[in-house]
């Protein structure tokens, strides 16, 4: 039975999940939060660093800010992509205004910026507003 290591996007705790278990049933052993949330999870820089380093399932992060019009336009499209790919990838949002250290660490020069992480490294990034279909296609290509 194979397992995948995932970081809880709510509390930051590491979890091991069997690949045979349905993604919807996977919950954090510490806080009980879903490990595959249906909607993008709001995360901070600390949880992103931990998940980007250790997770074995693709994590797609939307770097955004509340004052950014294009970021607000893309938010519903990002949520649609998260729903479509639920179980095969996880989606999170990081507010660069609240966490400027993440912008520096991940070399974010403009927002909205999507970055995908898996297996301890960045797999790719996309700049600018994207439609849900483009996001899902991009994530599937990275897998």
Active-site residues, by number, are 68, 71
With beta carbons less than 8 A apart as the criterion, state whether 63 and 108 touch: yes
With beta carbons less than 8 A apart as the criterion, state whether 112 and 62 touch: yes
Cα separations in angstroms, 138 against 71, 125, 126, 141: 18, 9, 9, 5
C-alpha 7: how far from chain center: 11
């Amino acid at each position: 039975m194979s397992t995948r290591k995932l970081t809880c996007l709510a509390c930051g705790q590491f979890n091991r999940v069997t690949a045979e278990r349905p993604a919807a049933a996977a919950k954090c052993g510490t806080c009980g939060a879903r490990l595959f949330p249906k909607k993008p999870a709001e995360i901070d820089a600390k949880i992103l660093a931990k998940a980007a380093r250790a997770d074995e399932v693709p994590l797609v992060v939307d770097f955004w800010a509340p004052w950014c019009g294009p970021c607000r336009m893309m938010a519903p499209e990002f949520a649609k992509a998260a729903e479509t790919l639920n179980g095969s990838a996880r989606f999170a949002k990081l507010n660069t205004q609240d966490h400027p250290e993440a912008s520096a660490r991940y070399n974010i020069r403009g927002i909205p910026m999507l970055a995908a992480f898996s297996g301890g490294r960045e797999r790719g990034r996309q700049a600018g507003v994207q439609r849900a279909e483009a996001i899902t296609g991009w994530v599937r290509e990275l897998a």
